[in-house]
Amino acid sequence: MKAPGSYQELAELLRSRLPKLVSGQLRIAHLLLADPEGTAYRGITEAARLLEVRESSVTRFANSLGLPGYPDIMELCRAWVAEQAQVARRAEHAGEAEPGGLLSATLEQEQTNLARTFGHLERASWLRAVELVARAPRVHVMGLRECRPVADLAAQRLGEILPAVHRLGDGSLPDELKELREDELLVVFSVRRYAADTVRVAGYAKETGLPVVALTDNAASPLVEFAEVGLFAETTGVSHRRSLTALTALTQALITEVAIELGDPKPDHRLLDTLHFYY
């Protein structure tokens, strides 16, 4: 097996193996996916203590990935951290109007995020997400904090093509959760650092019998545990703030695919036209 030559290749390999990993192996994989920054400088002794496994288990896990040992995982993470820092420095010190400045750095990063997001989509997961949304008698949508605008967009666009869409998170959650029914669907949005209420609602939906579609940033997201389908978007930004461009594009693509599945119904704007809502 060819060993991963970059953190991106390592992450892709880990995501593909997640369904087959157990116990300590799964904890190791989740840590590598969720915290490459920490892994870059966290020695094997500290990593083993944090994961509650033996150092030999961490070494064997690295070997199973085609790497000589854990220090090689650290090196891949260090290279990735250095790459992100270089992009951030370029953005901080460049003038917006200069070629190669902030605008160019942003464009380059967003193009990379979009390419990785759509390039790594699993077709089976994508088709299952489309099927779940298109066939649900009612779709509940939830996203908080920085993901609230993406969830708002999803709720609005889905409301134009589906018979019943309910936006969660605008009122009292305990009261809103009473409306969830077993044959309906929950679509959730959250990226690191994950909104606790969103994770709790996803867990409650699973216990209630609702399938969950999670749009998040990686396979180690806490939402994945409760989701029937997880769709992942790259969120690396040119500064310490995460970018939601790829997540938004993924959301719009999903809604478009659902619309096509339903015969591409035209949004009904008669009421808005009657009220002269549009200029």
Question: Which stretch of 172-181, 208-217, 259-268 has the lowest confidence by average pLDDT?
Answer: 259-268
Question: Over 60: is that where the pLDDT of 92 sits?
Answer: no
Contacts of 135 (CB under 8 A, 6+ apart): none
Give the tens place of pLDDT for each residue, 213-265: 999 988 878 898 899 999 999 898 877 788 999 999 999 999 999 999 988 76
Of 31-45, 57-71, 80-94, 216-230, highest mean pLDDT: 57-71
Question: Over 70: is that where the pLDDT of 53 sits?
Answer: yes
Q: How far apart are CA 83 and CA 131, in angstroms?
A: 38
Question: Over 90: is that where the pLDDT of 61 sits?
Answer: yes
What pLDDT does 276 receive? 65
What pLDDT does 96 receive? 47
Q: Within 13 A of 193's CA, how many CA atoms are on the CB side? A: 2
Give the tens place of pLDDT for each residue, 105-146: 888 888 888 988 888 888 899 999 999 999 999 999 999 999
Q: Hey, what are 34's tokens?
A: 């969720």
Distance from chain centroid for Cα 118: 12
Q: For the domain covering 123-261, report its CATH number.
A: 3.40.50.10490
Nearest Cα residue to 150 out of 183, 191, 109: 191
Domain ranges of the chain: 7-78, 89-119, 123-261
The class of domain 7-78 in CATH terms is mainly alpha
Whether this model's pTM surpasses 0.95: no
